[in-house]
Structure 1
């Protein structure tokens, strides 16, 4: 089959592409690289001009006074000029409801072109979208990435980007898509749970992880236990990073001679991967029921990851041993879990082994690619 993947978050489409290529399919990935993460693609619609130093201040002024981001318009224009290369595909899959991430009316125009010149259209729920955002606003989860906002609406500038998915303009795009897609696939439980009962929902397909490219690092603890926290300022509150920061302060005071703490901020994907390579423990996020892509890749390396690992996740995969630490939005609980690992380093070794085995069994990129093909067909 000829397959077109539009958009990228967290390397999901890149790994899926690698699995599909192994199965003999022809795949084209078009994306903007996902900002500073700079993920690979075959064709790019990245807003390079708008992000240049020359347009930095005009862009800020437009956004401040007119509430208009010229980068969004540039992405749409660049995607428009790629349209002649995006024809005659058997399958088109969008990374989410705003995969081009341009002005809504322009996005609908571009998607009409894509639909007209290709066959089947599918949608991924792998990030914020209209259905999951409304589910979170209705407080149907025990906690979610919207919890900080619901507790204090002035907490951060992060949330207007998420809340736009329930805006009147975006809902036009949402309804447009759901009238035309063959179906929507969820990448983990945080997106699958809100979709339960929706007639377009095709089920959960776990994130594909290319373990061929990810070496398992056998855990060796020589002197200090190394704990890594990679901060993305765009997701600071959504991931509950402040819980980790507070917990680390306590851990540093409690185990100063036993731990080494590494903290990075807003670094490209490849640098992020390199930075945590020597760590034993990686702190990912607290407001999740399941693991996101960064957590899964770290688990594949044999790291002990503090992330989403709720009961729904454990039950679904019928796990009897821990493959990750369920990180709750509670400093005392985080300190308790970290303290246990520091005082019982053999558990770090065991969980790291379990994590790698879990990824190989449930997230293998070729096996997951077969699941996508089955659903698409």
Structure 2
């Protein structure tokens, strides 16, 4: 099968590609490489006029004329190589706005893909019209909408989420829904909003390439190593304010028992190795299911504070703890960290359970087979 994967978040499409290649399929990735994370893509797109003086000029032109220069330049980049983006059995969009263009140029690109390929699918693994509106309509559901409604995130910093509530993105949503072959969710946080939509095909868990992530049996000597990686752009979205407060208390409470490492905006290739010595990883709040950073750390046998709600445990029929469900409560986080520090055997057990869970539910070759079965139906 000839497959075109469009867009890259958190290495999802790269891991899926590796699984598909191992099964003998022809796979190409087109898209942006997700900023400083620098994920590899076969046909990279670059955002033009998106910083410095040129960005100011672009915004002035947009305000005066309504013309978005960045969208136009992305469209031009696509057109330059468009001959390579036809004749595929399957095209998968990572998002409703995979090319980050306005409605005019996004639909120009999508129309070409719909016309020149057999099937086009949408993957819900980030913000989209259905997901964002569901979370605004259900403010008690754990999601990144909660810190926004709490006033922690300004409208400007939340614009990449809020845009999906605008008329043009509602129009783009309906355009894609009319033409695509179906929608797949990557975890429970996207499954919940989409489950009653007419073209929804179901949840396929994130693929994790276990051949690239060695299980590291933990050894605990004198201190417990805690790792906290911060992406400054998503600081409040991930709940880092709660983690940092909890870590301050833990450092004072156990000065001789813990070593805490904090990094910011580290490229993926470096980040994935930074926490090899760590026992505990602080990932994120506000959700039911794990994202990519958590899953990869779990694959290495780490204890990860992340989204692991009761709904998640029920969905996967879990009787053992595979991660610590992180909540927006400093006292709760301190209590959970303290229990692990005072009972190192719990760290060993959860880390082992985490690796077993990833092998069972997220192995990249098994997940690639699930995609192939869903695409082929």
Range class of TM-score, shorter chain: over 0.9
Q: Are residue 23 (structure 1) and residue 23 (structure 2) matched?
A: yes
Partner of 1:13: 13
Pick closer, same or farther for the CA change 1:155–1:334 going to 2, 3 Å. farther
Q: Structure 2 matches for 1:1-377, cutoff 5 A?
A: 1-47=1-47, 50=49, 56-63=52-59, 66=62, 70-139=69-138, 141-152=140-151, 155=154, 157-377=156-376
Which 10-residue stretch deviates more, 255-264 or 59-68? 59-68
Give CA-to-partner distance per residue, 1:64-92, whole Å, 9 cap, x none. Answer: 78468754443332122221111100000
| Contact in 2 for aligned 1:79/1:100 (Cα 8 Å) | no
Q: In 2, distance between residues paired with 1:372 and 1:365?
A: 10
Distance 1:156 1:116, change over 3 A: closer
Whole-Å Cα distance in 2 between the matches of residues 19 and 259 of structure 1?
A: 38
CA displacement 1:301-351 (0-9 Å, x = unmatched): 011000000111101111111000000111111111000000001111111
Per-residue CA deviation, residues 104-126 of structure 1 (Å, 9 max, x unaligned), is 21010110001111100100000
- Of the structure 1 ranges 38-47 and 110-119, higher mean CA displacement relative to structure 2 is found in 38-47
Which 4+ residue blocks in structure 1 deviate beyond 6 angstroms?
Answer: none
The answer (yes or no) to whether the contact 2:96–2:176 under 8 Å persists in 1 is yes
CA RMSD in angstroms comes to: 1.6
Separation in structure 1 between the aligned mates of residue 162 and residue 233 of structure 2, nearest angstrom: 14
Question: In 2, are the aligned partners of 1:59 and 1:70 still within 8 Å (CA)?
Answer: no
- What TM-score, normalized by structure 2, do the two folds share? 0.95
**1:166, distance to aligned residue in structure 2 (A):** 1.3
Instruction: Classify the secondary structure of the residue corresponding to 1:179.
Output: helix
Alpha carbons 2:153, 2:236 under 8 Å: kept: no
Question: Separation in 1 of the partners of 2:94 and 2:283?
Answer: 22
Whole-angstrom distance in 2 between the partners of 1:77 and 1:275: 38
CA drift at 1:60: 3.9
**C-alpha distance in structure 1 between counterparts of 2:152 and 2:107, whole Å:** 30
C-alpha separation in 2, matches of 1:248 and 1:128: 29
Shift of 1:266: 1.0
Q: Answer yes or no: is the 8 Å Cα contact 2:135–2:141 preserved in 1.
A: no
In structure 1, stretches of 5+ residues that fail to align are none
In 2, Cα distance between equivalents of 1:300 and 1:69 = 42
Contact 1:76 1:103 in 2 (8 A): no
Residue 300 of structure 1 contacts residue 355 of structure 1 at CA under 8 Å; is this kept in 2? yes
Cα separation, 2, equivalents of 1:352 and 1:24 = 33
Taking structure 1 as the reference length, what is the TM-score of the superposition?
0.95
**Alignment length, in residue pairs?**
373
Change (3 A) 1:250 1:323: same
2:143/2:287 contact within 8 Å kept: yes
Aligned-pair CA distance for 1:285: 0.4
Between 103-112 and 150-159, report the one with greater CA deviation: 150-159
CA deviations on 1:12-49 (whole Å, 9 max, x unpaired) are 000000111111111111111011111011111123x5
**1:154 and 1:277, CA in 2 relative to 1: closer, same or farther beyond 3 A?**
closer
